[in-house]
Amino acid sequence: MMILLFAQWCINLDLDPIAIYKEAYPYQEKNKELVDALELTVPKKESDHIDSETLLEVLSLYGNDDLAFVVSDLMIRKNVK
């Protein structure tokens, strides 16, 4: 569920979830769970808003601190709330 939340958040903001994940975990092979989650995402106009702070909390809860750091940096650079 956490991966789907991340993927949909990226879709909603016109961001590439695979590129963002690769930035957080550059030495990791392709993440099959992320690829699978991308198949379950919906177009941004069909999606509910996903609060960025909620995403950060969920990522931290599951120990994805590196990904949370990259997401946080993106939020600052793109002024995402």
Chain segment 26-80, per-residue pLDDT in tens: 999 889 999 999 999 999 999 999 999 999 999 999 999 999 999 999 998 887 7
Please state the pTM of the whole predicted model: 0.92
Q: Is the pLDDT of residue 81 over 80?
A: no
Q: Is 21 helix (H, G, I), strand (E, B) or coil?
A: helix
Euclidean distance between the first and final Cα of the chain, in Å?
Answer: 21
Contact 55, 75 (CB under 8 A): no
The structural domains of the chain, with segments of one domain joined by +, span 2-78
pLDDT of residue 53: 93
